[in-house]
Structure 1
Amino acid sequence: MAIQGLMKLPIEVQNTDAIKILNVLSKASNKIGRLEEKFKHSIVSEALVQILSLSESVESTRIEGTQVTFTDMVEEKDDKHPRWEIIEVNNYQNALLEGFERIQNGYPISTRLIQELHQTLMQGARGSIHASGQFRKIQNFIGPNNKIEDASYIPIPADQIDDYMENMEYFINGHPYGKKLSTQHLNHHNDRYIFDENSDPLIKTAIVHAQFESIHPFLDGNGRLGRILIVLYLMQTKLVTKPIFFVSEELEKERMRYYDLLNGVRGSEPDWGSWILFFLNACNRMADKINDKLDRAEELAKEGLRLCETPSDKKVWLYTFSNPFTSVASVTNAINISSNTARKSLNNLVEKGLLFTDRYTKRNKKYRNYELVRILS
């Protein structure tokens, strides 16, 4: 029988789960803090924002079944007639960076922002594009087919979406008049611990993501937009200052567990403890991975700079860290040098073994920083 609906925020967990959560939380928070410090002092941090956001966009859309790889995206980035998988990944990255810009300019996460980002996410993509940016007006469900009787989860009715989204917005930002969120729906047993709007930002990130997915306010794109909210909330709370920490890669690796634990927070007896622990452990592993990727990318950049002989070569080399499969035209436009200088520098980098280019292509040659792609993919 399908699980139906969900409870409003805040949430509560068993005290035993709360102790485990707080233990994992300290490890994950410390690692994310170290990552943030590294980015502040890295020579490739600005370049990697673009490429890491692309990697996140690939991993998040793969959770939805899109069969496209990071290398596909880098190779086909400039395709004038992209296939729908490429469009979906590009839309995800555009929505992510659009949201980042809004947060950076002081806008909080709100229902309005979520609807605007949904429009970007669904632009020209498959699915219910006619309802992009609009909450659903009909009942939807999650299941293996299009029969509601086979559903694993039936979200709240459409007429309750505004109320639940307002509740989630207050949990994210606090009530505009300073009121506390109601806890009347909780059990308040002595063996329970409440995570409310004043809880640690990383725990709140886990809760916000699961709650948004469970409200399921749109006809399509809920999963992808919910994972964008993870990144945006981390930036809103200043845990990271740029979109550099992503968790979709780890969620994709355990996709069925991810879906199962999300389902567990729904209905009248939600198990939030298991979900939050899973999310924090995924963050912990991902922080290790991104720290390692940044270290290796930084070392690669420095090694290349030692081999570069001209200022132009150095500029072009560092540019490939934001666009690892590039061309003379891209370099010319990006760093404002002549096409002849760009071509000469790219060929110099090929001679040094830093980039690769096909010897037989004569026009629109691509120059590839394969070592960076190997590190990041």
Structure 2
Amino acid sequence: MSVSPLANSPIGLLVPVGGYDPRRGADYSASAYLPNRLPDDLALSGATHNAITRAMSKVARADQAMLQLPNPELLARLVIRQEAVSTSAIEGTYVQMEEVLRADFLASSEYSGDVAEVYNYVLAAEAAADWIREPRPISVHLLEHLQKQLVTGTASDGPQAGRVRDVQVFIGVPGGRVEDARFIPCPPGQRLRDGLLHWEAWINRPGDLPLLARLALGHYQFETLRPFNDGNGRLGRLVMLLQLIAAEELRLPSIALSPWLEANRREYQDHLYQVSVTGDFEPWIVFVCQAIEAQAVAAVRRVGKLVAIRNRMLEELKGHKAKGTPMEIARELIGYPMLTVNAMKDRHGVTYQAANTAVRRLVDLGYLRQFSEGNYDRVFVCDEVLEALVQAP
């Protein structure tokens, strides 16, 4: 690793690390970066305060837009799945939204490895949102539980799952020498544990910093410490959403940050690195505010688009003299754009025959399309809702 950019960091120090690299069959000797504790206050410029104010106003609008829905939880479940797809793509795991939605109707043994990894995020994020709304604090214990969920059944599953790492990790060395790594995070052991516990206390302690500055600083510190063998990026981005919910700026997980960060991945990674090099948090804070503002605006547009689709469908169905279960299924397509007859039978408390007749009616009218044959049930999809969800704002 070239140590020169980090050697003079004003907010951290380099510490020696060494060991044996089994990939190359050789010992290594390098330097790892140990960040200082986070500050409780920063002197922020007027431009940074303006960026924070703009983003917070958009967050408030997104929250209000969701709460105007009769069942906002329906759309929140889709937002979590959209976040799961993009946050995993940032880490190099690519799946389509259709695959994630279909996983609701499959046994875990039927998933591909990539789908299992993304669906694990869905389960972890839903559990985390419930935890925060109880309310309970963001904690190392929570993150250990979530990390274990993220890696269950994947290549990273094993003795380290759900535990703060006890081995050294490296960033940007696929097949290369450890000494040439772009970044080597904090060594395992007491320094890592102390840094993580301080991060936990800082995240939960009220301070003078504006909320979005706290999101940015907390995310930087977590990603710099990289406390787990795998899943740090996904967990760190989830924590930002949890902070918004804990502060009651969002009542539900209605904003997916990762689609914007995925589109700006290189800049995202460079900003994190430059904080360590320069000690200047402001460009990073502004970048995070840009992400939040853009995705909050996208959330409002998404709500409007999906509500318009639902209202038009319901009006058209009334014109077709539809009533009862077909109408109830159509009303909830903005939360369940992929479904099976059995799932609708259970959700709406009707017989299999009634649910099958309702689904067939919606297929005949063009609102649903059979997507695939399942081992236990046919899977149907509402293409219009799915397209509105995944298309760029």
**Normalised by the shorter chain, which TM-score bucket?**
0.7 to 0.9
Aligned residue among 142, 148, 155 for 1:126: 155
Using the TM superposition, give the Cα deviation of residue 359 of structure 1 relative to its aligned residue in structure 2, in angstroms: 11
Q: Which amino acid aligns with 1:344?
A: T
Any conservation in 2 of the 1:332–1:339 contact (CA below 8 Å)? yes
Kindly state the Cα deviation for residue 152 of structure 1 after the two structures are TM-superposed: 1.1
Superposition deviation, residue 220 in structure 1: 1.1
Q: Which whole-Å CA distance do the structure 1 matches of 2:255 and 2:55 have between them?
A: 11
Query: What is the root-mean-square deviation in Å for CA atoms of aligned residues?
Result: 2.2
Name the SS of the counterpart of 2:153 in structure 1: coil
2:275 to 252, 262, 265: 265
Counterparts of residues 143-222 of structure 1 (less than 5 Å): 143-145=172-174, 147-158=177-188, 159-174=190-205, 197-222=207-232
Cα distance in 1 for partners of 2:287, 2:119 equals: 28
1:11-90 equivalence runs, <5 A: 15=44, 18-80=45-107, 81-90=110-119
SS at match of 1:153: coil
Higher RCO structure (Cα 8 Å, ≥6 apart): 1
Range with greater deviation from structure 2 (329-338 or 234-243): 329-338
Shift of 1:364: 3.4
Distance 1:11 1:143, change over 3 A: farther
Q: Is the 8 A contact 1:11 1:272 kept in 2?
A: no
The Cα offsets for residues 81-114 of structure 1, whole Å up to 9 and x where unpaired, read as 1111111111101111111111111111011111
Q: Provide Cα deviations, 1:158-205, integer angstroms capped at 9, x if missing partner.
A: 121121112212221128xxxxxxxxxxxxxxxxxxxxx332222211
Alignment partner of 1:249 is 2:280:
no
Residue 307 of structure 1 deviates from its aligned partner by: 2.5
Residue 294 of structure 1 aligns to which amino acid in structure 2?
Answer: V
- Contact 1:247–1:283, Cα closer than 8 Å, also in 2: yes
Cα offset, 1:240, TM superposition: 0.2
Distance 2:316 2:69 in 1: 19
Match of 1:103 in 2: 132
Instruction: Quote the Cα distance in structure 1 between the aligned partners of 2:367 and 2:97.
Output: 20
SS in 2 for 1:366: strand
Amino acid of the structure 2 residue aligned with 1:24? A
SS at match of 1:53: helix
SS, match of residue 136 in structure 2: coil
- Asked whether the equivalents of residues 372 and 378 of structure 2 are also in contact (C-alpha less than 8 Å), the reply is no
**Range with greater deviation from structure 2 (316-325 or 247-256):** 316-325
Q: Which residue of 1 aligns with 2:368?
A: 355
Q: Secondary structure at the match of 2:366?
A: coil
Deviations 1:201-220 (A, max 9, x none): 22211111111011101111
Q: Cα deviations across residues 197-249 of structure 1 (Å, max 9, x unaligned)?
A: 33222221111111101110111111111111111111111110111112100
- Aligned match of 1:179: none
Q: CA deviation at 1:128?
A: 5.0
Partner AA of 1:149 in structure 2: E
User: SS of the counterpart of 1:367?
Assistant: strand
User: Contact between 1:141 and 1:148, CA under 8 Å: does it hold in 2?
Assistant: yes
Kindly provide the amino acid, as one letter, of the partner of residue 9 in structure 1: L
1:44, distance to aligned residue in structure 2 (A): 4.7
Normalising by structure 2, what TM-score? 0.84
Give the counterpart of 1:286 among 284, 291, 295: 295
Whether the 8 Å CA contact 1:357–1:366 is kept in 2: the answer is yes
Q: How high is the sequence identity, in percent, across the aligned residues?
A: 25
Q: Deviation per CA, 1:301-342: give whole Å up to 9, x if none.
A: 111122232121221112332221211111112221111111
